Structure 1
Amino acid sequence: MSSNGEHRGEWHEEQQAGGRRAEAYGSDVRAQLHHRVPDLGALELLLAVARHGSLGAAAREVGITQPAASSRIRSMERQLGVALVDRSPRGSRLTDAGALVTDWARRIVEAAEAFDAGAQALRGRRDSRLRVAASMTIAEYLLPGWLIALRAERPDTAVSLQAGNSAVVAERLLANEADMGFVEGLAVPDGLDGVVVAHDRLMIVAAPSHPWARRRGPLGLAELAATPLVLRERGSGTRQVLDAALADHGGLARPLLELASTTAVKAAAVSGAGPAVLSELAIAEELASRRLVAIPVEGVELRRDLRAVWPTGHRPTGPARDLLSLTRARPAG
């Protein structure tokens, strides 16, 4: 005698088999419909013949030649197995079967028009907003110009910008909380595709009062690695580049200060808190006014690529695509 577990297992297998049969049947029906039901263009042509009583006028309405229209009607008649149109020197009129098929065709075309209107509404809703996530340097020093240019092209698109480090940008994109992202790290984060849109260089800087500002030779990597610095937080593109550059020299010393924005790091360095690592995009004014001094470093150039990124397999569309085009047309760095 079978156990209850065996009965449940047999029932489960029967359910699965039934599901497979239903799926196969549905697939077969779809394949048959594809071959048996005329395409939308043919149905629109038939409706035009019904309106005009003329194959030539119907052909002009749908934008094809009269011979092409005749060929399409004949093909539809073969497909359905019935005559649809009687042709004569006085014009073209629907057969009884043609009149019935025309009634069905009208419903299909109206449904297709409703489908198209809905799709346009979805596109309009998508194109009415753009959610951008960007790491701090790009958000502060590059994106404003790009977004002003986008505004000129798409004045009706509302743009929201979320700033954070590169790791946070990746998280927001993967959680579908942003449509386009910009990061500053060494590589494209996992789960994302991307393209380089600009280049940047990190610089060691200090206030003029700091001893490094008065040194005559370049700074060595070992000394840089051993010195507590004012730094961005872990997960930022700046930290990624610096960690990689100093990995063979014992890594970074414990930070003097660890701050969450480029502006905060710059303010701390200007105040004399200690040397800092900053993007050259962020410090042009401070270097020109001598509020900060660039410290040469021997044996390394801290360059990095700035990238636009998006979830793997989901190439930007609508406003995101336009923004990407603008970044590549107006490079920086």
Structure 2
Amino acid sequence: AGALVTDWARRVVEAAEAFDAGAQALRVRRDSRLRVAASMTIAEYLLPGWLLALRAQRPDTAVSLHAGNSAAVAERLLADEADLGFVEGLTVPTGLDSVVIAHDNLIVVAAPGHAWSRRRRPLDGAELAATPLILREKGSGTRQVLDAALGGLARPLIELSSTTAVKAAAVSGAGPAVLSELAVGEELSMRRLVGIPLSGVSLARDLRAVWPTGHRPVGPARDLLSLTRG
């Protein structure tokens, strides 16, 4: 009987050691990579700094970044193709939990030669809605905020799939645009674009980190999330 007990105890210890080794291997594999999905403004203007800070903390973690609109970010998270996401819209996509990490404002901009650059009074919502604009595509957080503010009446002159493309079109003089203030600081300071005052319309929005409901970020994703809120 004593031999049987000893053999049973040995098997228990071996099973526990195998479990610990397996769990450690899973942690190492999880910590060796981080898949991030982010909407365009965050990907272009905020994430580079955050990822540099993460690299200082975790030099052995390989990071992949997929930039798309807010709808695409939600799709990747729900398909388990990303560990952490960032979106810019007014609402949290279904199936995701979130936390606000920053605040942003959209502003109306135009090239210096545009008639709006010489205005003496602010635009109002009706005038903005009546004017064809260079816009982000449907599904983007920027477009969602503008459509909500104008009751869905925004008129597209051109629809483009990135903040950089919208900005370049506006700088070229193709027409006025609505962009994040994060994206146009240099252009405004260099007078390549002019900010157009707007009254009676709020274009404020929250920037959010998102992840599948019930699956709080762990490992590198948790560390990146903490850096965004530092």
Q: Same fold by TM-score, threshold 0.5 exceeded?
A: yes
Matching of residue 197 in structure 1 with residue 98 in structure 2: no
**Which residue does 1:285 correspond to in 2?**
186
Residue type of the partner of 2:144? Q
Aligned counterpart for 1:321 among listed residues 208, 218, 222: 222
Residue type of the partner of 1:224? L
**Which residue does 1:251 correspond to in 2?**
153
Distance in 2 (alpha carbons) for counterparts of 1:278 and 1:242: 10
**Which residue does 1:161 correspond to in 2?**
65
Matching of residue 206 in structure 1 with residue 128 in structure 2: no
Point out which structure has higher relative CO (alpha carbons under 8 A, 6+ apart): 2
Contact 2:30 2:219 in 1 (8 A): yes
Aligned counterpart for 1:184 among listed residues 77, 88, 96: 88
Distance in 2 (alpha carbons) for counterparts of 1:211 and 1:103: 88
Structure 2: tracts of 5 or more residues without a match? none
**Which residue does 1:218 correspond to in 2?**
122
Comparing both structures, which one devotes a greater share of its residues to strand? 2
Residue type of the partner of 1:148? L
Matching of residue 124 in structure 1 with residue 124 in structure 2: no
Alignment of 1:1-333 (within 5 A): 97-247=1-151, 251-253=153-155, 255-329=156-230
SS in 2 for 1:304: strand
Distance in 2 (alpha carbons) for counterparts of 1:299 and 1:274: 22
Comparing both structures, which one devotes a greater share of its residues to helix? 1
Distance in 2 (alpha carbons) for counterparts of 1:187 and 1:322: 24
Structure 1: tracts of 5 or more residues without a match? 1-96
CA apart distance, 1:176: 0.6
- Deviating beyond 2 angstroms after TM superposition, the runs of 4 or more aligned structure 1 residues are 97-100
CA apart distance, 1:100: 3.1
The superposition leaves residues 85-123 of structure 1 with CA deviations (integer Å, 9 ceiling, x where unpaired) of xxxxxxxxxxxx444312210111011101110111011
Distance in 2 (alpha carbons) for counterparts of 1:251 and 1:257: 15
Q: Greater CA radius of gyration, 1 or 2?
A: 1
The alignment's TM-score, normalised by the length of structure 1, stands at: 0.68
- Give me the identity figure in percent: 83
SS in 1 for 2:132: coil
Distance in 2 (alpha carbons) for counterparts of 1:298 and 1:107: 74
